[in-house]
Amino acid sequence: MDLEQKIADRSLKIGVVGLGYVGLPLAMEFAKKGIQTIGIDVDPWKVDSLNAGKNYIQDVRDEDVAQTVKDGTFYAENHFESVPDMDVIYICVPTPFTPNKEPDISYIVDSAENTAKGLRKGQLVILKSTTFPDTTEGVVQPILEKSGLKLGEDFFLAFSPERIDPGNKLFTTHNTPVVVGGVTQRCTKLAADVNRLIIDEIVEVSNPKVAEMEKLLENIFRSVNIALVNEMAALCDRIGGINIWEVVDAAKTKPFGFMPFYPGPGIGGHCILIDPYYLSWAARKYDFQTKFINLAAETNEDMPYYVKNMIFREISMLPISIIDAKVLILGVAFKRDVDDTRHSPALRIMELLFEDHVQNILYNDPYVDEITVDGHEMKSQELTPELLKSVDCVVITTDHSVYDYDMILEHSKCVVDTRNATKNAKVKKDNVVVLGDGLN
Ligand SMILES: NC(=O)c1ccc[n+]([C@@H]2O[C@H](COP(=O)([O-])OP(=O)(O)OC[C@H]3O[C@@H](n4cnc5c(N)ncnc54)[C@H](O)[C@@H]3O)[C@@H](O)[C@H]2O)c1
């Protein structure tokens, strides 16, 4: 039976390589629909957890993992031996950068090489990891062709980027449109048809490079706009008397041609911080400097330094030296209401404080029990009035919705608010400085 037929009668077997924030929700969508799904991950802890019916991703429902494992529509492995049994293989592995901020696509290469070993006729491989243009055709395709099989005839290949927004309850996998670009027209059609089994709207583009570039455009669009508003926030603080948060709220009343972005302590997560570097690296091969994109990345990366200076300024007004000051960081996840700390600006701020000899740093995050920063192993402290009273400076780095900002303001000596989280607090706010409010 060919792949078209298996898709039509839903008898296909799905493989998902990389069971993280992207791969596990995807695998669950197929498994919940009764489609046989096998997950592959190099992390034995993840594989064991899933096979025991235990979930570890916030956006995935615990009962979905337990039920699909029980029903036998999902199981996980930490090897690639089942690849020949799969009809479609999604690759959802990390694409980090090196310490020099160059793309590290070694996880994609490793997954493709392991997939190639078991590749057989009739299979479709869909790369989902965000990466620079020409990774699908220039890197993955030659690796898969080492199997001796011919692309477009024996096997099929497409790029279909992920758009999951962790923590977003409104837009999840099935109602977020997905872009698909196959190496051949049949590759595109097959990848679109498979995605259509779990996603309402599929957007087909001419080839994988378009799909790779559009994903980078989406994320760089955010990076550039966040950088713009961060720069304007710093300018508002310099001029004085202009509050950037009020400025953005006023601007967003324009019903067309404007989309609000807000300042903050920097950008984090596995995407928006990293992706501009993927494109600027790829552009250099063509003697092209992505000046605008680089400037945005630089501006955003300056924000943790800006916040560190805000903290130092506040501490300098207290009868205590920087070295002895006790600082409490509120929120170490990279954004509100998630548990993901990858490249979180809060961690960068803590690193900068440690580097500048602030030794008494504590943190609270309702979603993150422990972290290691600059070699310091730390545990989340219970957020109590006593804790707030015991520290010299409280820094709101992530505006989790569960925080009681009135309680925080009421019991703190001084608060540095990098997210305008205290905007609606009812208690007196004379102990708060807000990034970009023009009063710093
Ligand atoms: N997290 C997001 O919100 C998001 C959104 C859109 C796109 N993306 C992109 O999706 C990709 C995956 O991101 P993520 O957040 O899911 O990463 P993640 O780190 O949460 O998950 C990746 C998983 O892949 C596994 N893995 C690593 N190497 C492997 C290999 N060789 N074989 C099998 N498994 C392997 C890891 O153990 C991990 O469980 C990245 O390219 C990222 O940029 C992420």
Question: How is residue 326 written in tokens?
Answer: 């006790």
Cα 182 to ligand 1 centre (Å):
21
Q: Return per-residue pLDDT of the chain as tens, 440 residues.
A: 799 999 999 999 999 999 999 999 999 999 999 999 999 999 999 999 999 999 999 889 999 999 999 999 999 999 999 999 999 999 999 999 999 999 999 999 999 999 999 999 999 999 999 999 999 999 999 999 999 999 999 999 999 999 988 888 899 888 999 999 999 999 999 999 999 999 999 999 999 999 999 999 999 999 999 999 999 999 999 999 999 999 999 999 999 999 999 999 999 988 999 999 999 999 999 999 999 999 999 999 999 999 999 999 999 999 999 999 999 999 999 999 999 999 999 999 999 999 999 999 999 999 999 999 999 999 999 999 999 999 999 999 999 999 999 999 999 999 999 999 999 999 877 899 999 999 87
Question: How is residue 185 written in tokens?
Answer: 């027209």
* Alpha carbons 69 and 52: distance in angstroms, whole number: 8
Report the amino acid identity of residue 424.
Answer: N
The CATH number, out of the four listed (3.40.50.970, 3.40.50.720, 3.20.20.60, 3.30.1490.20), of the domain defined by the range 294-434 = 3.40.50.720
Q: For ligand 1, what atom is nearest to the CA of residue 128?
A: 10
Classify domain 3-206 by CATH number. Answer: 3.40.50.720
Residue with tokens 């690849």: 83
- Which of 421, 424, 78, 18 lies closest to 27 in space, CA to CA? 18
Cβ atoms 183, 157 nearer than 8 A: yes
* Alpha carbons 24 and 166: distance in angstroms, whole number: 12
Domains 3-206 and 294-434 share a fold: yes
Name residues whose C-beta falls within 8 Å of residue 198's C-beta, 6 or more positions apart in sequence: 26, 29, 30, 33, 173, 174
Cα 396 to ligand 1 centre (Å):
28
Domain ranges of the chain: 3-206, 294-434
* Alpha carbons 114 and 32: distance in angstroms, whole number: 27
Our mutation pick for probing the ligand 1 site, out of 17, 93, 115, counting the most ligand atoms within 8 A of Cβ, is 93
Q: For ligand 1, what atom is nearest to the CA of residue 78?
A: 33
Our mutation pick for probing the ligand 1 site, out of 19, 22, 275, 338, counting the most ligand atoms within 8 A of Cβ, is 22
Query: Number of helices and strands (H, E) in the chain?
Result: 15, 15
* Alpha carbons 395 and 266: distance in angstroms, whole number: 14
Cβ atoms 337, 367 nearer than 8 A: yes
Burial grade of 178 (CB within 10 A; 0-12, 13-18, 19 or more):
buried
Beta bridge partners of 377: 372
Cβ atoms 329, 363 nearer than 8 A: yes
Cα 39 to ligand 1 centre (Å):
13
- Whole-Å CA distances, 199 to 11, 128, 174: 18, 15, 4
Check residue 83 and report its DSSP letter. G
108 lines ligand 1 (CB under 6 A): no
Cβ atoms 49, 37 nearer than 8 A: no
Residue with tokens 């994609």: 108
pTM of the model: 0.94
Report the amino acid identity of residue 358.
Answer: V
Catalytic residue flag (residue 92)? no
Question: How is residue 394 written in tokens?
Answer: 């409280």
- Which of 21, 46, 8 lies closest to 128 in space, CA to CA? 21
- Per the residue annotation, which of 236, 271, 393, 414 is the catalytic one? 271
